[in-house]
């Protein structure tokens, strides 16, 4: 088995500054204080609303989480006496939190800004509703904090399945992928497939810029699949369902003839169904990939053609044995 995998990595944290990047442009986040501490690290994908902490219950706050402050938290703080309000803001700012985000375009109380500034906690603001900010930041952090790796290969959407083609350089992965695209299937990533494992165990593959929607074809160079074949010929991301390794046909080498062997290819400690596909001159690889995808769909639906054939063959042999014994 050719190992096309790069070393897996788990992102240990996301700098606060990345919340201000283009992926969260719709939140229109601005910095109210703490510009010099935007390198604070967010280490957990879940966010929190620190209402209980402002009420004096500090164990509720978990380290490394973004704190979302909305109308209810600010309204409560304004009901407190001056000294108590400052003390609550000081105590919350002293906790291991990377950043506070104030929502709905609200103006935070001065004590909050002062205590956060003194304890190197940036305060950001957004005009969006708290629910929107929570959803968008949570999705962003989940996408950036999950374990990830890269595979040298090509990822396609074939009959709704995410199929990764791997194999040694020059074996014909991109050419087979191009043939599949002309048949109506879609390209997700070519040459380098970025893969992330989400908490539900799903492996999601995508392409990184500037390779997105592009393929390299020896003799032709770089082509833009989206421009050549249209929007339907590309996908931004796709769950990975099947790994097919293309390898040069070797005379005398034993290959699976029945399809009874169930093998897996591990990606980020997650097993993926795996097929070893020998490639020979004149063999239509795109056809074989399509059949492999269709056959995998049948297996997911509970129909295993090879096992059914083996069962019928065993029954026939058993009938023949009984006939001879009479």
Catalytic residues: 152, 173, 191, 257
- Beta strand segments in the chain, E: 9-10, 14-15, 30-33, 41-42, 67-69, 100-102, 123-125, 147-158, 161-167, 186-197, 203-206, 214-217, 221-224, 237-239, 242-248, 263-267, 270-279
List all residues 6 or more positions away from 153 whose beta carbon is below 8 Å from its beta carbon. Answer: 4, 164, 165, 166, 167, 173, 191, 193
**67 vs 101: CA distance, rounded Å:** 6
Pull the structure tokens for residue 238: 């796709």
Return the residue matching tokens 């935070």.
108
Q: What are phi and psi of 304, to 5 degrees?
A: -115, 100
């Amino acid at each position: 088995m050719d190992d096309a995998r790069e070393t897996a990595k788990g992102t240990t944290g996301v700098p606060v500054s990345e919340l201000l990047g283009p992926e969260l442009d719709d939140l229109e986040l601005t910095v109210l204080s703490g510009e010099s501490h935007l390198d604070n690290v967010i280490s957990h994908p879940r966010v929190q609303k620190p209402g209980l902490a402002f009420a004096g219950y500090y164990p509720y706050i978990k380290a490394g989480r973004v704190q979302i402050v909305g109308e209810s938290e600010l309204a409560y703080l304004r009901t407190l006496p001056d000294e108590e309000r400052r003390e609550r803001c000081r105590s919350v700012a002293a906790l291991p939190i990377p950043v506070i985000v104030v929502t709905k375009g609200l103006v935070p109380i001065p004590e909050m800004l002062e205590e956060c500034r003194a304890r190197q906690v940036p305060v950001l603001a957004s005009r969006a509703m708290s629910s929107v900010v929570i959803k968008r930041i949570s999705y962003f952090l989940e996408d950036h904090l999950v374990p990830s790796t890269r595979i040298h290969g090509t990822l396609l959407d074939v009959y709704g399945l995410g199929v990764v083609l791997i194999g040694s350089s020059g074996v014909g992965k991109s050419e087979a992928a191009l043939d599949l695209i002309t048949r109506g299937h879609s390209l997700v990533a070519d040459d380098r497939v970025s893969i992330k494992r989400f908490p539900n165990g799903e492996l999601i593959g995508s392409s990184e810029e500037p390779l997105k929607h592009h393929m390299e074809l020896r003799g032709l160079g770089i082509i833009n699949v989206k421009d050549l074949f249209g929007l339907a010929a590309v996908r931004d991301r796709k769950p990975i369902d099947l790994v097919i390794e293309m390898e040069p046909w070797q005379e005398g080498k034993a290959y699976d003839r029945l399809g009874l062997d169930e093998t897996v290819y591990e990606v980020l400690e997650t097993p993926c169904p795996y097929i070893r596909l020998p490639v020979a001159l004149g063999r239509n690889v795109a056809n074989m990939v399509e059949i492999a995808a269709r056959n995998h769909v049948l297996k997911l639906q509970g129909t295993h053609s090879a096992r059914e054939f083996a069962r019928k063959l065993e029954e026939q042999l058993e009938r023949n044995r009984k006939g001879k014994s009479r």
